[in-house]
Each structure stands twice: as C-alpha cells, then as structure tokens.
Amino acid sequence: MVNRYCRLEPVLRSLDHGTIAEYALDELMLTRGENERVFALRDTMEKMEGVTQALQHSTLTLSGTRRLFDRVVAEFPQLRSRLAPTAAIVNNTPLESVLVKLQHQEQLTAAERSACTLFRLSDSSDIGVNRKRWDVHSVEDVRREMES
C-alpha cells in the first residue's frame, strides 16, 4: 500500500484544482507532513526488507547475523531491546554473550565460561556409555553407508 501510494503520488500532485474538486479527491490527499512520513516509511521498509532477505541466505553465519543485527541497532536504536545481545527475548543471556565474544575473539568472564559447561563432554557421559558401540569398524561402517 505504501509503495502504491509512492508511485501514485506524482500523478496526484500533477492534478489541477478543478479535477481534484470535481472528483472530491481533496479529502483523500495527504498533507505535506503526512506525505513526507509515507516516503520515509517506505525507505525504512526497504531497508528492513533487505535485512529480512539477508537473514534468509543459506550462507549466513551466526556471526554474520550478529553483525547484521548490530548494524540495524546502530541505525534504529529503538530496536535495541529486541536485537541486542542482552535483549529480553534471549533465552540464555550469558550464552549469547559468549557467542558474541567468541566471534570477536574477546576474553570470557567466569559466568560466561560456566554457561559453556553444558557443551563439555566428559568420559563419564556419552563417550563412556557408548564406548562399546563406537570403534574403528563401526565408524567405517557408517562412513561406507553414507557414501552408498
């Protein structure tokens, strides 16, 4: 609807007063301020459409997504509450912070290191339990099965 108005606006502006009065178009015409806001809205929507398309690329990485969100927050600070690494919608803020810091190759705090403990494997976990199931031959069997 916004794009349609932006395409029609030059035509509407070129109409003479008699045509506007004859067809009662004056009630439908936007004021100069409203007109400027519509064009600004269109520009913002085009930027957001570009962000949406970038998020759909199959080659987009997690760090690329973070950089994209950081650029959006820089241009639209009102979105910080939703797109910042500390946003309320983040389920695990320390883990999000860890991921951002790892991408920027920064040092981790103690809280951030403890958030990563979920990802550590110990000998007593899956490896120890499944030791009998995984040996050189079973790995080769899986590899051959995947190749065929």
Amino acid at 6: C
What average pLDDT does the segment 69-74 reach? 93
Tokens (6 digits) for 47: 């930027």
CA dihedral 76, 80, 82, 83 (to 10 degrees): 80
DSSP string of 50-104? Answer: HHHHHHT-TT--HHHHHHHHHHHHHH-GGGHHHHSTT-TT-S-HHHHHHHHHHHT
User: Residue 54's pLDDT band (boundaries 50, 70, 90)?
Assistant: very high
pTM: 0.53
- Share above pLDDT 70 across residues of the chain, in percent, rounded to a whole number: 86
pLDDT band at 48 (very low <50, low <70, confident <90, very high): very high
Highest mean pLDDT among 62-66, 122-126, 132-136: 62-66
pLDDT for 130:
63
pLDDT tens profile 81-114: 888 877 777 677 777 778 878 878 889 888 788 8
N-to-C CA span, the chain: 53
Cα 146 to the chain's mean position, in Å? 34
For residue 3, the surrounding DSSP H or E stretch is helix 2-14
- Ranges 17-26, 45-54, 99-108, 115-124: which has the least confidence: 115-124
Higher pLDDT, 123 or 61: 61
Q: Give 72's contacts (C-beta < 8 A, 6+ positions apart).
A: 51, 79, 83
Give the Cβ contact number of residue 138 at 10 Å. 12
Mean pLDDT across the chain, nearest whole number?
83
